[in-house]
Structures are given as C-alpha cells and as structure tokens.
Amino acid sequence: MRAGRDRARHCATVFVENLLNAKPAATPIRAGLIGYGYAGRTFHAPLIMADSGLRLSVVCSRDAARVHADLPDVEVEADPERMARHPEVDLVVIAAPNAVHASLADAALRAGKHVVVDKPFVLDLTEARALLRAAKASGTVLSVFQNRRWDSDFQAVHEAIACGRIGRVVHFESHIDRFRPQVRERWREQPVPGAGLAYDLGPHLIDQALLLFGLPDSVNARQAIQRNGGSVDDWMHLMLDYGPLQVILHAGMLAAGGLVRFTVHGTRGSLVKKGADVQESQLRAGMAPGASGWGQDPDPLQQFNGDADVAPVERAAPVGDYRKYYAGLCEAIKGHAANPVEPIQALAVMAVLEAARTSSRTRSDEPLALTADEAEAARRAFPGQAVQGGRMGAGSC
C-alpha cells in the first residue's frame, strides 16, 4: 500500500512540475483578409484556417451574408481602409482587385501590420519600390502570395533540373493554357487597371522561371486579345533570354486540348510534364487543405533520353502543398525563418512583367529596368543557375 501511495505522490509531483514548467501555447497571429472574391474565398481563407499559427479574425467584404455563410464566427468589416488599420489584426492579407493593392498595403504597413499581397503584387515598378521602402520603414514582414512555387508540377521539374537529370538546360517552356471562350463579367476581364492575363498568370510563370534560372538578360513579349468581345489581353507569350538558354512563358484562353504544362530540353535529355497541379481544383471543390489526397498529382514527370526505342522514365510528382507558404510566413513573422517570398523577389517579377508590357508595345527586346543595387539584391534572392547540375545534394536526388 505504501509503495502505491509513493508512486501516486511522485506522479502528482511530476504533474505539478510539468504544469509549472510548461510553456504557454503560442498565441495565433491574428489575420485579416481584404477581399472575399475568388482568390480570398478559394485560396486565402482555407489556407489561413488550415494553419494553427494563424487565426482568421476579420474579413473585409461588402457582402457580410456571403462571408458568414462560410465563416459564421468571423467579424466582417466593409471598409478596406479601416480593415488595413484594424486594431485586432496583426497580419493583413490583400486579395482585393489589383489596382488597390499598393494603397492598401501601404496603409497596412504604416499601421505596423505584417502584409501579404496576392499576385501580381502591384501594377508597376514605381508602386513596388514605394512598398519596399514602406516595409523597411515599418520593420514588418511584406510578402507576396506566390503559391505556385508549391505546385506539384513545378516541384517535379525543379527537382529534375536541380539534380542534373537532363544535363544543362537549353530550352524551358512553361504553359498555363485554358479553354474559356466566353468573356466573363469580372474585373479581371474588363478594361480596368491591373486586368488581363499578363497580370493574372504572368507573375506565376515569371516567378517560377526566376527561381530556376535567375534574372534574364532581356525580355521579348507579345500580348493579344483573341476572344470575341474581349477588351483586355487574353493571350501572352514571353521569351526570356539567357544566352544559350531560352525560356518561353505562355498563357492563353482558347486552348481546348493537347496541353502540356512543362517542356524542358537539356544536353542529356528532355522532360515533359503534361498534367497540372490539382490543388486549385481541390479547393474549388471544397476540399480542406491537408485532407486525404490533398496535393497528390496522378500525372508523372516523363524523362526522355533521345532513344526512340526506349520508353521514357516516369517519376512520380512530389505532393503539392500550398500550406507551406503560410507556414513559412508564420515563421518569418516570428523571426524564426526567412520570408517565403521576399519583397525584392516581387520587385524582380514586376521588372520582368513591366519589360514584357513594353516589349509587346514596341516589338523590341527589353532589359530589366532595375537599378544596379536592385539587380544585385535580386540576383542574391534568385540565384538561378546554381540549382542546375545536381547541386541539391545526393540525398535530394
């Protein structure tokens, strides 16, 4: 009996000591979301709620009923300017129309908030530079939502290039093609600042290319309006010049089939990735991030060695996971890790996009309009060629 009482007393003592020594649970970062349209509702709200380090506290929308139908316990604020300065919010996520990204981000930074801006960041380099200065002055985290860094298709191609599986890359082609022949009544397809396919999909394509290859020497681009009744560009074709390496970035709205997401040629073979990442489709269908099957890509990466008699090697694509963006952001806000998408990277993407718009208008090759200091910082943020030729390490390959 005495031995039993001693054990019970010891367990009670240990329990009390554990309570006294336990660290308090980390307080979630309070997030406020400006915009509850397609991007806010489909991407940001589910991904924020899936991260235990974040709490979605406030949503800015003029349609409170629509928000509360999905998020009954969230406060709704109608005024985006008030939302940018909301006293109960630590992180402001901007998923509003592109034309107001700069003003809302500036207001939030001046209020001492951490800020996430949905792509394309802003409309031009002037706005981008102003926000970088505002972020530096505020001492808070400014980041851009480039979720497609965590697409399964891009991860598969990135890994193969980094491991040197096809030797030195000489041709890289990235397509996001869709079949949407009808012009829809939404701001992205109407003649307003920041509308059009170049602003919509261009930042994703450019960001992925810069991650792989760094800054190009020049940009040559064309944009067109191809659909009946269209008023903004719905077709874009960019060529980034890296000397021996040529990079083609393409998007269109009248591609009905036979689509390939990535085609890559190197000195020892080629890569083809036909199917696209599934996470956007899963989110549209209502799947919760992290649920069973989340990000699992059924389409393998194909590797060709130039022998027509030998079947291509098929490699399973990595699991895509957009949750990694917000997980990394939380760590950056806490000071534990680097910003997952640095402001200088967003500035470089805007420089390529601005060069592409100029090139399409002038029909000329255009350099990036970055200062020497900006270009140096961007090259450090986008080391590019360092990923080629098996430098990830044997364990990763």
Are 216 and 301 contained in the same domain?
yes
Are 129 and 165 contained in the same domain?
no
> Which single residue is written with the structure tokens 């194909």?
302
pLDDT digits (tens, 9 = 90+) for 269-296: 999 999 999 999 999 999 999 999 999 9
- Given a contact cutoff of 8 angstroms between Cβ atoms, the answer to whether 288 and 212 are in contact is no
- Given a contact cutoff of 8 angstroms between Cβ atoms, the answer to whether 60 and 94 are in contact is no
pLDDT digits (tens, 9 = 90+) for 85-112: 999 999 999 999 999 999 999 999 999 9
Out of 112, 129, 145, pick the residue that ends a domain: 145
Greatest extent of the chain over all pairs of C-alpha atoms, in Å: 93
- Given a contact cutoff of 8 angstroms between Cβ atoms, the answer to whether 96 and 89 are in contact is no
Residue 334 is assigned to a structural domain of this protein: no
Q: What is the pLDDT of residue 70?
A: 97
Are 98 and 184 contained in the same domain?
no
Are 57 and 192 contained in the same domain?
no
Are 141 and 163 contained in the same domain?
no
Residue 266 is assigned to a structural domain of this protein: yes
Q: What is the pLDDT of residue 385?
A: 58
Are 110 and 136 contained in the same domain?
yes
User: How many other C-beta atoms can be found within 10 angstroms of the C-beta atom of residue 84?
Assistant: 25
Out of 96, 118, 145, pick the residue that ends a domain: 145
Domain with 374 in it: 149-320+340-396
**Phi, psi dihedral angles at 174 (to 5 degrees):** -125, 125
- Given a contact cutoff of 8 angstroms between Cβ atoms, the answer to whether 143 and 115 are in contact is yes
Task: List the pLDDT tens digit at each of the 397 positions of the chain.
Answer: 444 445 445 444 444 344 344 444 579 999 999 999 999 999 999 999 999 999 999 999 999 999 999 999 999 999 999 999 999 999 999 999 999 999 999 999 999 999 999 999 999 999 999 999 999 999 999 999 999 999 999 999 999 999 999 999 999 999 999 999 999 999 999 999 999 999 999 999 999 999 999 999 999 999 999 999 999 999 999 999 999 999 999 999 999 999 999 999 999 999 999 999 999 999 999 999 999 999 999 999 999 998 877 889 999 999 999 999 999 999 999 999 999 999 999 999 999 999 999 999 999 999 999 999 999 999 999 998 545 554 443 346 7
Query: What pTM was estimated for this model as a whole?
Result: 0.91
Are 128 and 215 contained in the same domain?
no
We report the CATH number of the domain holding residue 93 as 3.40.50.720
Residue 326 is assigned to a structural domain of this protein: no
Query: What letter does residue 142 receive in the DSSP assignment?
Result: E
Q: What is the pLDDT of residue 388?
A: 56
Out of 91, 120, 145, pick the residue that ends a domain: 145
pLDDT digits (tens, 9 = 90+) for 27-68: 999 999 999 999 999 999 999 999 999 999 999 999 999 999
Residue 14 is assigned to a structural domain of this protein: no
Are 350 and 241 contained in the same domain?
yes
We report the CATH number of the domain holding residue 381 as 3.30.360.10
Are 192 and 303 contained in the same domain?
yes
Are 98 and 240 contained in the same domain?
no
Q: What is the pLDDT of residue 308?
A: 77
